[in-house]
Amino acid sequence: MKTHRLGRSDLLVSEIGFGTMSLPKDEKEAIYLIHEALDRGVNFFDTADLYDQGRIETVLGKALKGRRDQAIIATKGGNHWEPGKEGWFWDPSKAYIKKAFKDSLKRLGVDYVDLYQLHGGTIDDPIDETIEAFEELKAEGVIRYYGISSIRPNVIREYVKRSSIVSVMMQYSILDRRPEEAMLDFLHEHNISVIARGPVARGILSDDGLQKIPESGYLDYSADELRSLIGDLKAIRPEQPLSQTAIRYALAHPAVAVAIPGASRREQLDNNIKAADVPPLTDAELQKIRALTKANRYEQHR
């Protein structure tokens, strides 16, 4: 498994990571998938306190017990929720970020987290206060590095200017090319890595993607456009699963250090990991994909 340095950090992350949001409900099955990923060279595991109200962090912690040194753990906070209560609200205050992180640490059952990320963010947030929270956690030695999870260019630019983030997680795929408009080159120039979430676009970019197309479409694609597009995309590399082509697309830009597809069953995990063994997309293949798809634009939060 190839690794990439995450921004200016000393973290070397596997280019195929593991997004844990879609882990199966069955704990034994979930732990099996995590162990299988570790055994096959995956070292980057992304989670969040909001995922199933902390349950996913707890499961990940159990899976990594005794194998902590093999894993780079990334989690996220900023969505204020309380166990046993429905609903949540956005709270990037210093007090809540620090409390939420300590709660995550307990659920994970570890002494530190490699990467802590703000799980969202708006331009109206108390950004300096939020950054103080991250810097204090770093000074305490309980986080090694921090980043943000955001697709909002105006928010990303503020954190690049005012903080020492090493990464930005953003949705990026063949069907969601918004980061290409301005952010990928910008972050690469500042030596900040992108963590690409959603590279298979909720399963639409997979061999059974036709069954996963919502009737309402996806972003600025109609359902009919997607049905036609999937066949054209499969034809680019007919010898391999479309999900692997999609993952290689997300990894093609040098700003992207790791792609984090999710997996709820062994077959999905197997396809994801095998994307590490297929050749990178050629320039001609990238051009063909871009000609077939839309150069989506940010319409808000510019």
Using CA of residue 79, residue 82, residue 83, residue 88, what is the dihedral sign?
negative
Using CB atoms within 10 A of its CB, is residue 299 exposed (0-12), middle (13-18) or buried (19+)? Answer: exposed
Amino acid at 13: V
Written as one letter, the residue type at 177 is: R
Q: Which residues are catalytic?
A: 51
Residues 6 or more apart from 273 whose CB is under 8 A from it? 1, 16, 37, 40, 41, 42
Contact indicator for 35, 64 with CB cutoff of 8 Å: no
Region for 260 from its dihedrals, namely left if φ exceeds 0, alpha if ψ lies in -120 to 50, beta otherwise: beta
Q: What Cα–Cα distance (Å) separates residue 228 from each residue in 218, 225, 234?
A: 13, 5, 11
Q: Spell out a b/e string for 138-161, using b for 16 or more CB atoms within 10 Å of the CB, else e.
A: eeeebbbbbbbbbbbbebbbbbbe
Tell which residue, 249, 203, 248, 250, has the closest CA to residue 230: 203
